[in-house]
Amino acid sequence: LNFSTDSGSNYNVTKTTTAFNSQHKEDGSASNLGYETGFDLAQSTSSQPIILGIGDGADENGNGIMSIFSPSSTTHVKHFISNAQANYSSVWSFNTYVAGYINSTSAVDAVQFSMSTGNIDAGDICLYGIA
């Protein structure tokens, strides 16, 4: 995940974030809840991971919801929250929570979703807003 304030010419907006993740194995034999220190950004322009462990099997997927608060504001920084779920290795379910702020008073006018490796094979990204 990354943001742009110049209509997508650059996706390098400074962010500060934090994240935690819950995991559960399909057969109930293992579970975990933990803080994801490797997902934290501190005044960084790097891409923000918002989902952990999407597999590449035909029955594996990722989905989620992200909210950006007042993205068109030219007065305040913009806060965002994300909750994403993924199936991995056909037996694990991961639920990742990310929150933070975009440290820019410019309007956010583009959002970039990308994979750490490979490509998004198929899916829908829907945008909803309140005018």
Q: pLDDT tens across 90-115, in order?
A: 788 889 999 999 999 999 999 998 88
Q: Whole-angstrom Cα distance, residue 10 to residue 90?
A: 36
pLDDT band at 126 (very low <50, low <70, confident <90, very high): confident
Q: Residues 6 or more apart from 130 whose CB is under 8 A from it?
A: none
Average pLDDT, the chain: 90
Output phi, psi for 39, to 5 deg.
-95, -15
The per-residue pLDDT for 131 is 62
- Picking from 60, 38, 48, the residue whose alpha carbon sits closest to that of residue 16 is 48
